[in-house]
Amino acid sequence: MAWLALNIHADNRIAEALSEFLLNHGALSVSIEDAEAEQPDEVPLFGEPNMPPPGFWQKNIINALLDENCQVEPLVAAAKAEFGLDSLPYQIETVAEQDWVRLTQSQFDPIKILDDLWIVPTWHDVSNTDAINIRLDPGLAFGTGSHPTTFLCLKWLKQVVKPSCSVIDYGCGSGILSIAAKKIGAHEVLGIDIDHHAIEASEFNAVQNEESIRFLHAQNFTGDFSADIVVANILSSALIVLAPALAQLCKPGGQLALSGILQAQIGLITEAYQPWFDIQVLEIHEGWVLMGGKRKNLD
């Protein structure tokens, strides 16, 4: 059996409603993606503690999986009529039948971060039992260890985390950095994210790794905790807005690491964080930058 992949371009006014319309008219699954992802006009979705997150991107792609016998043109015509649209750009692709589980698993092998730090999917055996092995399956949240930004943060955590220290992972995604910090030896770790799916994935992954870690949605964080180490692997535009909040989370003399930064954005990040940190470039890997520094004692 084959399926049809329907990709519809839609703005933020109808993205959610259109997704529900497609599900109500036979779509097997629907997802929403940023139409400008990895482009200069990419707009991140993020929020600050105690602030509601925004809705959808300005320009979206609605991805719907349909039965191969679905009549797409009448479906799109019905959607246009439902939302009063003159046009609704779309593309159709045929998706061949495959063993989706096996195909997905084949794309994720163990990832070596350092000789003694590995990311190992649960369907793989651990090859180096003497190393720190983080058992992690890809899920809805960002962060499997394969992206350069995550790789940089993991290397940095291995260098700086000590047994007595506390860590805040802001934008925890899959929980990979939180879990790594706890396995390396941190005494207390808090993961924060604006996405409920990320919190769920992080909690699940922590259980898989037999680690006790607290994860909170940003809206539920009361600001009653600061840490010796703060790490944030999110988009640079979000990092700039969050500079005061992240500074407040880091103890005086504590250390900060920021990733999700391109080389052209170094100056903007430096300007945003200089009031609180002795900020500098720590490492560059595949065009992505890890920046960090020590929290100034401003008292």
CA 259 to chain centre: 12
Q: What percent of the chain has pLDDT over 70?
A: 84
Instruction: Give mean pLDDT, residues 179-199.
Output: 95
Position 216 scores a pLDDT of 96
Whose CA is closest to 9, among 65, 67, 88? 88
Position 105 scores a pLDDT of 60
Give the separation between CA 262 and CA 82, rounded to whole angstroms: 42
Say whether both 66 and 178 belong to one domain.
no
CATH of the domain at 196: 3.40.50.150
pLDDT tens-digit series, residues 248-261: 999 999 999 999 99
- Does residue 171 form part of some domain? yes
- Does residue 16 form part of some domain? yes
CATH of the domain at 90: 3.30.70.120
Position 45 scores a pLDDT of 44
Say whether both 200 and 86 belong to one domain.
no
Say whether both 143 and 90 belong to one domain.
no
Instruction: Give mean pLDDT, residues 92-101.
Output: 70
Say whether both 77 and 145 belong to one domain.
no
Q: Is the pLDDT of residue 273 over 90?
A: yes
- Does residue 212 form part of some domain? yes
Instruction: Give mean pLDDT, residues 225-230.
Output: 96
Q: Is the pLDDT of residue 112 over 50?
A: yes
Q: Is the pLDDT of residue 37 over 80?
A: no
Query: What's the DSSP call for residue 234?
Result: S
Work out the mean pLDDT of the chain and round it to a whole number: 86
Where is the domain boundary, 39, 71, 97? 97
- Does residue 116 form part of some domain? no
Q: Which domain holds residue 191?
A: 139-294
Position 100 scores a pLDDT of 56
Position 41 scores a pLDDT of 54
Instruction: Give mean pLDDT, residues 58-69.
Output: 84
Position 99 scores a pLDDT of 56
Q: Is the pLDDT of residue 52 over 80?
A: no
Inter-CA distances, 146 with 58, 223, 259, Å: 28, 31, 14
Give the separation between CA 26 and CA 3, rounded to whole angstroms: 12
Say whether both 57 and 177 belong to one domain.
no
Q: Is the pLDDT of residue 212 over 60?
A: yes
Q: Count the helices and strands in the chain (H runs, E runs).
A: 9, 14
- Strands (DSSP E) contained in 59-195 are 59-67, 90-95, 111-114, 117-120, 132-135, 166-170, 188-193
**15-19, 176-180, 257-261: segment of lowest average pLDDT:** 15-19
Residue type, position 252, single letter: P
Chain position carrying tokens 């259109």: 18
Count of domains in the chain? 2
Confidence class for position 201, pLDDT limits 50, 70, 90: confident
User: Hey, is 266 helix, strand or coil?
Assistant: helix
Instruction: Give mean pLDDT, residues 202-212.
Output: 93
- Does residue 277 form part of some domain? yes
- Does residue 104 form part of some domain? no
Where is the domain boundary, 67, 97, 127? 97
Position 49 scores a pLDDT of 42
Say whether both 155 and 290 belong to one domain.
yes
- Does residue 261 form part of some domain? yes
Instruction: Give mean pLDDT, residues 117-145.
Output: 78
- Does residue 190 form part of some domain? yes
pLDDT tens-digit series, residues 149-174: 999 999 999 999 999 899 999 999 88
Q: Which of 73-87, 195-209, 265-279 has the highest mean pLDDT?
A: 265-279
Cβ-proximal residues to 125 (8 Å cutoff; 6+ apart), any chain? none
